[in-house]
Amino acid sequence: MLKREPGFLIEVNKRLKERGFNELKSGFDASSYEVVYAIATQEESKEIKDILPFFSKVALVHTHRDLTELYGYRVSLKKILLDKASIEKEERLLNQKKKEEQKKQREARKKTK
């Protein structure tokens, strides 16, 4: 949008200035930026192309084409390897929060009856 919509750049610069940041130059050069798609997985031995479902690959191909050909960004893929212990810890925390929320909801329903 910075490249296609001059009015958008004006609005972005106004908000950046309000927050004490430097304004973006009007000659925005997307080629000096890189968009990185990070794919998180436990699959250490597999390549990204073998991890993603078919329609995710299709969407990624189209997005890559648009970002590079239409806008001039550099695009890359990165695989982030997740370890099983970290995933299990995160799942336990999420389950605990879910149980706490369900308990709050039950207590709130009891109070309204």
* Alpha-carbon distances, residue 14 vs 1, 3, 27, 80 (angstroms): 15, 17, 16, 36
> Rounded distance, CA 13 to CA 22, Å?
8
Per-domain residue ranges of the chain: 1-28, 33-82, 83-113
> Rounded distance, CA 112 to CA 98, Å?
21
For 31-76, the pLDDT digits (tens) are 889 999 999 998 888 898 899 999 999 999 999 999 999 889 999 9
> Rounded distance, CA 62 to CA 101, Å?
39
Interval 67-96 mean pLDDT:
91
pTM: 0.56
